């Protein structure tokens, strides 16, 4: 599933290629992806405008539009990516890292599209059809972005909670952007058991986790996605800790399948 790093690569594609181009066409006919809007609603709101800025908080992304237009919210879901197509058909994409044999010009999985008046396109390509496009998304409900969060904000996000620390990391209203794989990586780096209640964490442990979250996010962005993180290959039944070679354990924590090292993460 796309997490903060994948969404950041998608945002960067929009920022680099799609801004300040006049919108000449909108395909918003997929009523499921564009809910609650009826087909044609997003088109009517965007035609003739330009995208003036691309922003992200956690796993949520949105674009500002010209002329005091609405925000265009884009959520990648579990398999989405943003594809920008030049007028000569050359494509640039960011988001989830699947391939599925897709070639430039293959629109089987396109769920939403903007056509610009210079012959270029911006597409939401999503095989599993779990992405979402909507106007004026409620981004104000999200917590601080996990890439930008300060140490003080991080401490407050973990303050006075009795839930498992992994569940707290996954709470998008407490801290936006951490998904299942990022959480496992950060907790492994910080040597913290994912099921440990937040109120049992010492201040040094919280500070280690803060540093581990930042290291994990930056490593995933630099590497091209969360699938490149060091603990990910060990997330299997016979997986072994990359640090000490102990057999990894598996359980459900915070509603998600979780792996951790029983020797290092106590």
* Separation between Cα atoms, residue 217 and residue 211, nearest integer Å: 10
* Separation between Cα atoms, residue 139 and residue 35, nearest integer Å: 17
What are the catalytic residues? Answer: 2-3, 59, 256
């Amino acid at each position: 599933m796309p997490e903060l790093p994948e969404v950041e690569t998608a945002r960067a594609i929009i920022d680099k290629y799609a801004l300040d181009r006049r919108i000449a066409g909108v395909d918003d006919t997929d009523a499921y992806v564009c809910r609650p809007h009826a087909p044609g609603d997003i088109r009517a709101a965007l035609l003739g405008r330009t995208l003036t800025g691309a922003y992200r908080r956690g796993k949520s992304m949105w674009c500002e539009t010209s002329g005091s237009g609405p925000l265009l919210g884009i959520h990648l879901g579990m398999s989405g990516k943003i594809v920008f197509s030049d007028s000569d058909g050359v494509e640039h994409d960011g988001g989830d890292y699947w391939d599925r044999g897709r070639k430039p010009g293959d629109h089987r999985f396109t769920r939403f599209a903007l056509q610009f008046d210079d012959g270029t396109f911006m597409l939401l390509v999503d095989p599993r059809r779990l992405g979402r496009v909507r106007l004026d998304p409620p981004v104000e409900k999200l917590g601080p972005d996990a890439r930008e969060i300060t140490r003080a904000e991080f401490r407050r996000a973990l303050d006075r909670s009795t839930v498992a620390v992994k569940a707290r990391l996954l709470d998008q209203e407490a801290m936006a952007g951490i998904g299942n794989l990022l959480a496992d990586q950060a907790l492994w780096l910080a040597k913290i058991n994912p099921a440990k209640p937040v109120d049992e964490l010492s201040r040094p442990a919280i500070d280690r986790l803060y540093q581990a979250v930042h290291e994990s996010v930056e490593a995933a962005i630099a590497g091209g996605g969360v699938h490149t993180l060091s603990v990910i290959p060990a997330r299997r039944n016979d997986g072994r800790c990359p640090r000490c070679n102990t057999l990894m354990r598996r359980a459900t924590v915070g509603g998600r399948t979780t792996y951790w090292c029983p020797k290092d993460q106590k």
